[in-house]
């Protein structure tokens, strides 16, 4: 069995996705963030290659959902940003002697369990580093490290190429695996349009919600769809 654990950082949902505020109300953005996270959880839980799941959060909804599916809830580092949360999770795993870690954000709702398994199946023996970038080659939407702290990580709007360089500085040649669902993270209105165009968005809770909120029509009126 794999000894790679998933680390999912989850910010508190209040004020979530403010860059969509021109399109959605605060309540709608809160609901969208929760719904996207549920789709991500579905994929993680469905993976056949994971040993377990760590959720780094202080959000009550994420905590409740995580406990229902048997995830470990970590609060340390939950307010230290995306990088701080991931580092807190992987410090825990490293201290327990776990073999590796994969981390993904909670806003890639088109991700599928098969994509996660494909990345983990391509991941090489330790020390190793595998990455699945965002569609624009800026974000690092899935990162695998074996052992968990093998490569320094720093997430942000332009982290993909810096992460490749960080791995090489550790003497590790990174493995790059592109996956269409993992590639679409939702921060801006254009991301919603890209997600809705993606065939595998069909059947997700997020797509159902966006259609209920009338987002496809809103995007079309703005010339974004």
- Dump pLDDT digits (tens) for 88-119: 999 999 999 999 999 999 999 999 999 999 99
Residue 181 has pLDDT above 50, yes or no: yes
User: Which pLDDT value is given to residue 71?
Assistant: 95
Per the domain annotation, does 192 fall within a domain?
Answer: yes
Q: Tell me the percentage of the chain whose pLDDT exceeds 70.
A: 100
Q: Let me know if residue 53 belongs to a domain.
A: yes
Structure confidence at residue 69 (pLDDT): 86
Q: Is residue 224 part of a domain?
A: no
| Of residues 11, 20, 92, the one with CA closest to residue 52 | 92
Given a cut of 80, whether residue 1 has pLDDT beyond it is no
Residue 147 lies in a domain: yes
Partnered with residue 144 across adjacent β-strands are 102, 130
Q: In whole angstroms, what is the distance from residue 203 CA to residue 65 CA? A: 20
Q: What is the mean pLDDT of the chain?
A: 96
> What string of H, E and C letters represents the secondary structure of 69-120?
CCCEEECCCCCCHHHHHHHHHHHHHHHCCCCEEEECCCCCCCCCHHHHHHHH
User: What's the whole-number mean pLDDT along residues 58-68?
Assistant: 93
Grade residue 192 by pLDDT with cuts at 50, 70 and 90: very high
Query: Is residue 225 a part of any domain in this protein?
Result: no
In this structure, of 1-5, 71-75, 128-132, 196-200, the range with the lowest mean pLDDT score is 1-5
Q: Which two tokens stand for residue 29?
A: 């953005």
Please count the structural domains in the chain. 1
Question: Picking from 12-26, 99-113, 151-165, which range would have the lowest pLDDT averaged per residue?
Answer: 12-26
Backbone angles phi, psi at 214, to 5 degrees: 75, 25
SS3 of residue 224 by DSSP: coil
Q: Is 102 part of any domain?
A: yes
Domain of residue 8, CATH code:
3.90.550.10
User: Which structure tokens are listed for 59?
Assistant: 């959000």
pLDDT for position 14: 85
Q: How far is it, in rounded angstroms, from Cα 113 to Cα 119? A: 10
- Which burial class, exposed, middle or buried, applies to 142 when counting CB atoms under 10 A from its CB (0-12, 13-18, 19+)? buried
Q: Based on the number of CB atoms within 10 Å of its own CB, is 134 exposed (0-12), middle (13-18) or buried (19 or more)? A: buried
Q: What band does 64 get if pLDDT is binned at 50, 70 and 90?
A: very high
Q: How far apart are CA 214 and CA 28, in angstroms?
A: 11
Range of the domain at 42: 4-219
Q: Does the structure show a pLDDT above 50 at 182?
A: yes
* 8-state DSSP, 173: P
Closest C-alpha to 206, from 115, 68, 107: 107
115: in domain: yes
- Res 164: pLDDT: 98
In a domain, 22, yes or no: yes
Mean local confidence (pLDDT), 55-63: 95
**In this structure, what DSSP letter does residue 211 have?**
H
Question: Is the torsion defined by CA of 177, 54, 93, 155 positive or negative?
Answer: positive
Dist. CA 5–CA 106, nearest whole Å: 16
């Amino acid at each position: 069995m794999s000894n790679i654990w998933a680390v999912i950082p989850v910010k508190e949902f209040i004020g979530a996705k403010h860059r969509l505020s021109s399109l959605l109300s605060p309540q709608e953005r809160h609901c969208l963030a929760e719904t996207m996270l549920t789709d991500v959880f579905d994929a993680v839980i469905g993976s056949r290659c994971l040993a377990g799941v760590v959720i780094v959060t202080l959000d009550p909804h994420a905590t409740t959902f995580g406990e229902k599916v048997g995830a470990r809830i970590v609060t340390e580092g939950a307010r230290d940003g995306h990088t701080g949360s991931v580092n807190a999770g992987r410090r825990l795993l490293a201290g327990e002697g776990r073999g590796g870690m994969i981390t993904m954000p909670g806003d890639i709702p088109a991700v599928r369990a098969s994509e996660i398994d494909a990345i983990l199946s391509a991941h090489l023996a330790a020390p190793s580093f595998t990455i699945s970038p965002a569609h624009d080659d800026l974000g690092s939407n899935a990162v695998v490290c074996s052992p968990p702290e093998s490569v320094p990580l720093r997430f942000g709007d332009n982290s993909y190429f810096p992460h490749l360089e960080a791995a090489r500085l550790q003497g590790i040649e990174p493995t790059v695996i592109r996956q269409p669902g993992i590639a679409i993270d939702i921060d801006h209105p254009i991301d919603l349009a890209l997600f809705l165009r993606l065939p595998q968005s069909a059947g997700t809770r997020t797509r159902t919600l966006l259609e209920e909120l009338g987002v496809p029509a809103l995007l079309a009126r703005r010339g974004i769809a």
